Amino acid sequence: QKEVEQNSGPLSVPEGAIASLNCTYSDRGSQSFFWYRQYSGKSPELIMSIYSNGDKEDGRFTAQLNKASQYVSLLIRDSQPSDSATYLCAASLETGNQFYFGTGTSLTVIP
């Protein structure tokens, strides 16, 4: 079974701090990785995609991928109260049409 695992949290950080979210996956055939943000009562919204080992930065967000360790992380710098949401990690295989989601990590940024 292809699994993506996340710490469900809740994770609380003070405003302005760095929030670190982690994800592991079981299928070594996974090629693409995604982080979605989901506000309460809303649909998942893509915030980052990463395909190669290393770091990928987009504004305050940095995704990190380590395929040898089967580990994906998301760093949120200068966390804002508006970042309070559930963050979903997802992986897909090379075919690109099957996606596997973690159960999400709830993040609260305290003003």
Residues that bind other proteins (CB under 8 A): 32, 34, 36, 42-46, 49, 88, 90, 92, 96-97, 99, 101-104
Buried b (16+ CB within 10 A) or exposed e, 95-110: eeeeebebebbbbebe
Smallest distance, other proteins to C-beta of residue 42, A = 8
For residues 10 and 66, give the distance between their C-alpha atoms in angstroms, rounded to a whole number: 24
Least Cβ distance, residue 97 to other proteins (angstroms): 5
**41 neighbors 50 (Cβ within 8 angstroms):** no
Residue 64 or 102: the one with the smaller Cβ distance to other proteins is 102
Residue type, 23: C
Residues 6+ apart with CB under 8 A from 83: 19, 37, 76, 107, 109
Q: Report the residue number, 46 or 110, with the smaller CB distance to other proteins.
A: 46
Residue 71 or 99: the one with the smaller Cβ distance to other proteins is: 99
Q: How far apart are CB 33 and other proteins at their closest, in Å? A: 11
Residue nearer to other proteins on the CB measure, 17 or 22: 22
